[in-house]
Amino acid sequence: MSALHLVRHGNVAELRLDNPSKLNAFTLEMLEAVEPHCVEIERDDGIRAVVVSAEDSRAFCAGADILAWSELAPREFARNWVRYGHRIFDRLARLAKPTITAMNGHAFGGGLEFAGATDLRIMSPGTTLALPEAAVGIVPGWSGTQRLIRLLGEPLVKEMALFGRRISAERAHAAGFAAEIVEDPRARAFEIAEEQATRSSCAIEVAKYMIHAAVEEDRGAMIEALGAGMIGPTKDREEGVTAFREKRKPNFPGK
């Protein structure tokens, strides 16, 4: 059974890391669980927001489990670990519904990249961020040098990735990466998520598409999704589908 669980709390879905013996480090099974959970969230119109949390108060996520990738051949490591993990984290980033991460303790490597794939981050005062990959002879592989540059800025990412420095919650908040610093991030994340039920889910989804298109987060798909949303309610689309079913030439009204 995967140590990544999806739990429903009314209108809020919780994606919960549960590998405390390894400080919630990602295993292959945990990575593989992300995509089907995202599909379930996407298809359930009753879910209005997603909280990403972790079971262990010592660490949100210590990164990728070294034992899960250290025995892989170089080609397997690049293709089946780095590229696969990147695609999985992109899937979380591109959820149509708003996502909020509650962070306690350490968020290192892949754990920091996982949090970076969500829309909002709430941290406890003791949260620390790091990209420690160079200490074991590798480099960030799940968007640490790409998406995190946009979210944290080049100087902070260089501090972590090149110099091995840890970034405090206060510095992350000053950089805009953390929205709030509170004693109970999970409770606060749920408060924010539950507020979503009072807002238009359609407007939030479209706003997220527009923002992602602006920052080139899957820009092509976001633009085409917006286009599909515009063409979907038209009489032309209705006529085109009807004509196809009736096996006749369509007569588009231009509306």
Nearest to 107 by CA among 154, 150, 140, 67: 140
Q: Which candidate in 113, 159, 183, 217 is catalytic?
A: 113
Q: How far is CA 192 from CA 13, 97, 156, in A?
A: 13, 13, 27
Distance of CA 54 to the CA centre of its chain: 14
Q: How far is CA 164 from CA 108, 132, 139, 157, 216, in A?
A: 11, 6, 12, 10, 28
CA–CA–CA angle 18, 21, 24 (5° rounding): 40
Mode of pairing for the β-strands spanning 167-168 and 128-130: antiparallel
Q: How far is CA 229 from CA 55, 90, 124, 232, in A?
A: 38, 22, 39, 5
Pull the structure tokens for residue 43: 């298809």
Q: Is 71 a catalytic residue?
A: no
Distance of CA 40 to the CA centre of its chain: 15
Pull the structure tokens for residue 226: 């917006």
Q: Which candidate in 14, 35, 133, 217 is catalytic?
A: 133
Q: Which amino acid is present at 200?
A: S
Q: Is 133 a catalytic residue?
A: yes
- Give catalytic residue positions: 113, 133
